[in-house]
Amino acid sequence: MSRRTDAPGPAQLRAIYQRMTDGILIVGDDGTILAANPAARRMLPDGGSGPTGAVFGFPIADRNAVVIELLGAGGRVRTAEMRVSTLDWHGRPARLLILRDITEQTELMHRLHLAANYDPVTGLPNRLLFEEYIGQAIREARRHGHRVGLLFVDFDGFKRVNDTFGHDVGDLLLRRIGRRLHRALREGDSVARFAGDEFLITLTQVKDVHEASVVAAKVLAAFEAPFELDEHTVATTASIGVAFFPDDAADASELLRRADGAMYRAKAEGGDRFRTCLASDE
């Protein structure tokens, strides 16, 4: 024998409506908000004053789920997953919007993404994100017949800075180095921190060796002026190795190895210079 379950009455439905953690909005065909529960009000600018009569500022159509951003109470941006369905509201068509606040989950995912893909000291892309980017650049170069240039940048005497002034000053120097590198690049190029005092610069759509050499010379020139760091004046120079796809390497790992070798050649010659790595060198 099946057990009969009574449907909730109006008072129970109102209590559920008031206490739900998901926001519930009833919106007319013209976008006017007809009703909102407390959870929905917290996601909207009006907050506790009630948004009824305001216009909901997103296109509304029946859909399973879409992520939207709302300027919530107190001016904080809230991220919500919105589901939409049609209903009859006092004899006229309207939309039922269910808003699930996913702000905390979204912010956590953003923090995890930053931790996984960006260097915590400089804020630049890390090796993992660089490998993704250089792989994409090479795939595009294969498709369109372009070159990709890779600059492997190592700073001369960086260990001496850490040993003399401490790691806090060393980290500050790395952040300032990252900024100068970024300013020296062309639009569309990118810089990443590889490890320690080593940085990688990806040059996309390189026409010839000369074009990459111009960028390398500009990077060297960016470090002619010393850094002022917490009452310390620190001068540093760079050793740069330059390699090209497809001239020097057929894939990203080989390109990195060839640029690294060219960098060590520049360092062995005294630093503060760049050296290219052409397949004909071997």
Q: Catalytic site residues?
A: 197
> For tokens 């390497």, what's the residue?
249
| CA dihedral angle for residue 124, residue 162, residue 217, residue 228, rounded to 10 degrees | 90
Query: Residues 147, 141: contact at Cβ < 8 Å?
Result: yes
Question: Residue 107 contacts by C-beta under 8 Å, 6 or more apart in sequence?
Answer: none
Question: Residue 276 contacts by C-beta under 8 Å, 6 or more apart in sequence?
Answer: 209, 212, 213, 241, 242, 243, 244, 262
